[in-house]
Structure 1
Amino acid sequence: MFNALYFRTFITLVETGSFTLTARRLEMTQPGVSQHVRKLEKYLDKSLLERHGRRFTLTEAGRRAYDYALKLFAEHEQFRHSLDADSLYSGECRLASPGSVGLMLYPFILGQQQMHPGLSVNYSFAFNQEIVQDVLADRFDLGIVTEQIRQPDVKVEPWHREPLCLVVPADFVGTGLSELMGIGFINYSDGASHASALLRSNFPDEFRSMSHFRRQGFTNEVGMVLDAVARGLGFTVVSRLVLETSPWQRQVKELDLPVAVHESLHLVTRTGVETPRRYARLLEDFREQRRQALHGYTEWSRQD
């Protein structure tokens, strides 16, 4: 019969290298330790130890049993912590977002995991509708989407806003809509809608539709769109999250515009399902970090 206690005794024996120390650490007798090992060997039908007087070495089966036991108890601890919805810094985090958000949020959560080893992260980059379906299917506890979703059985609430940035090649010298139309537009999944919102607010007398702009290309990976802009192939409109995390941010520039337009981010959860507190803490800490960063950027822009 499977008995986790036998595996725990075996782990301790391998780590201490001594029946005496194992008995002392587990508050057992040495015969009791030996009995646990024998019963584990009988259960597995394999010899786990090669005994050399008071010393021993592991057999191949013993090494594999030790590796399995470590994995077994690690998963047990992870499962135990995942049941604690009140824990702020332990348990599994299962969430999904578009790449525009995840490029910065995922590294932030990994940093939190480094500080709090009890956390584990299961993060997916996906499009809005995929995220909603995955939340409904219980593949994720929480999703972040870039548009207001109306669908039964999901709860959608506003979370955070990021400024939209009009990004052009570094050597671009124009300032008006006609110059932008001259170099063309680089599109991505949310690109046209973001560009339409930003341009309509800042060029209300001139802008009509994104259909008037020459399309210079498309990528479904927002993290790559600034590569095309850096090569001088056109302009695009992305959230500041994308611009700040882009490896091409020094090869492009943002045009200053008088009217700020934001991308609104929403949290998606299943209706009637309580989200563990660790999510609220992670999301609030990230949002506060972004508030401070955006405030610092605004102050720097005014001084500049």
Structure 2
Amino acid sequence: MDGRDLLEADALRSFAVFAEHRNFTTAARELHISQPSLHVKIRKLATALGVELYERDGRRLTLTAAGDRLAAYALDSRRRAEEFLRELDHESAPTLTIAAGRGALRWVIGESIERIGRQGRRVHVITADRDAALAAVTSGRADLAVVAHDPPGRQVEARQIAAYRQVLVLGAEHPLATRRQVRLGDLDGLDLVVPPAGRPHRRALDRALHDAGVRWQVAAEVDGWDLLVHLAALGVGATVVNGCVGLPDGLRAVPIHGLPEVRYWATWRPARRPVVRDLLDQFGTDR
């Protein structure tokens, strides 16, 4: 029996592994116990708590609301045990797990991650869209998430860490490239490289252009700021991105009047505030 076993109830540790995989066979294998034994542990835990912890949807297992809360608690307990044991052994600070989209990781928080890494802090990254990043935080799989646009809900703590103007990206030879600023009406008739339908940035852009009476054509649909800019560099069409996005030679970024700034939020559960404090300090004030 190691230190972690002493610090954690066996049933709670087993449920944490099950909640991570949502699969009895995989969880039992990781725990080095039989599948029937794992069933018994979780059934006894549910009985003791007086709640259902999971339900079946065909072959798929999903956690109930109570199961989600217990999973987050179990993962917190597991991490706190690991952190305490590292302190006893005089090891480095615990690994910080961050969930964020590709664009945020590259252009919004990339430098902050680099700085905290130079301080000796290990960082584990989960690449995820907004919904998946928030789910990773609420489930306990991530310590902190970075999401764009609207602030997260009240079940988590959050702080705005950045805000960027939206810019029109096009070839340096285009007539609009010499402007200090363009209006939405100036985009009339343009071929645009845009995210796929349904993405938050695409929905907001569709709505703004429609309200302004702008006629435009879809030149290509790709996911991610880097691919939007890449296709613009290939001459496929102009694109609209956040002002933080780096551009290759031959492209110009012109601020767009009439589109709101895109805000970025760091969000975490209150229980993980001590773990994420160092990274929050690196973000500094809102940009």
Which TM class, normalised by the smaller chain length? 0.5 to 0.7
For residues 96 and 240 of structure 1, the distance between their equivalents in structure 2, rounded to whole angstroms, comes to 22
For residues 82 and 91 of structure 1, the distance between their equivalents in structure 2, rounded to whole angstroms, comes to 10
**Structure 2 residues without counterparts, runs of 5 or longer:** 3-80, 177-181
* 2:104 paired residue number: 101
* AA of the residue aligned to 1:275: R
* Residue pair 1:82, 1:91 contacting (<8 A) in 2 also: no
* 2:136 paired residue number: 134
* 2:228 paired residue number: 225
1:183–1:208 Cα change, 3 Å: closer
Q: How many angstroms does 1:153 deviate by?
A: 3.6
1:155–1:224 Cα change, 3 Å: same
For residues 269 and 83 of structure 1, the distance between their equivalents in structure 2, rounded to whole angstroms, comes to 22
* Residue pair 1:90, 1:116 contacting (<8 A) in 2 also: no
1:107–1:159 Cα change, 3 Å: closer
For residues 287 and 260 of structure 1, the distance between their equivalents in structure 2, rounded to whole angstroms, comes to 25
For the aligned residue pairs, the C-alpha RMSD in angstroms reads: 3.5
* Residue pair 1:181, 1:214 contacting (<8 A) in 2 also: no
1:232–1:183 Cα change, 3 Å: farther
* 2:261 paired residue number: 262
1:154–1:90 Cα change, 3 Å: same
For residues 279 and 110 of structure 1, the distance between their equivalents in structure 2, rounded to whole angstroms, comes to 15
Partner-residue secondary structure (3-state), 1:182: coil
* 2:213 paired residue number: 208
* 2:191 paired residue number: 184
1:90 aligns with 2:93: yes
* 2:29 paired residue number: none
Cα deviation code 1:42-99 (max 9, x no counterpart) = xxxxxxxxxxxxxxxxxxxxxxxxxxxxxxxxxxxx9447877xxxx83211111122
* 1:46 paired residue number: none
1:275–1:83 Cα change, 3 Å: farther
Q: How many angstroms does 1:281 deviate by?
A: 3.3
1:146–1:227 Cα change, 3 Å: same
Partner-residue secondary structure (3-state), 1:159: strand
* 1:121 paired residue number: 123
> Aligned residues: percent identity?
16
TM-score normalised by L of structure 1 = 0.54
* Residue pair 1:166, 1:255 contacting (<8 A) in 2 also: yes
* Residue pair 2:192, 2:239 contacting (<8 A) in 1 also: yes
Partner-residue secondary structure (3-state), 1:158: strand
* 2:148 paired residue number: 146
Q: How many angstroms does 1:135 deviate by?
A: 1.2
For residues 261 and 139 of structure 2, the distance between their equivalents in structure 1, rounded to whole angstroms, comes to 30
For residues 140 and 277 of structure 2, the distance between their equivalents in structure 1, rounded to whole angstroms, comes to 18
Partner-residue secondary structure (3-state), 2:188: helix
Q: Give the paired residue count.
A: 197
For residues 182 and 256 of structure 1, the distance between their equivalents in structure 2, rounded to whole angstroms, comes to 18
* Residue pair 1:168, 1:234 contacting (<8 A) in 2 also: yes
When structure 1 is superposed on structure 2, of 214-223 and 252-261 the one drifting more is 252-261
Greater radius of gyration (CA): 1
* AA of the residue aligned to 1:283: L
TM-score normalised by L of structure 2 = 0.57
Partner-residue secondary structure (3-state), 1:161: strand
* 2:116 paired residue number: 112
Q: How many angstroms does 1:259 deviate by?
A: 6.0
* AA of the residue aligned to 2:145: G
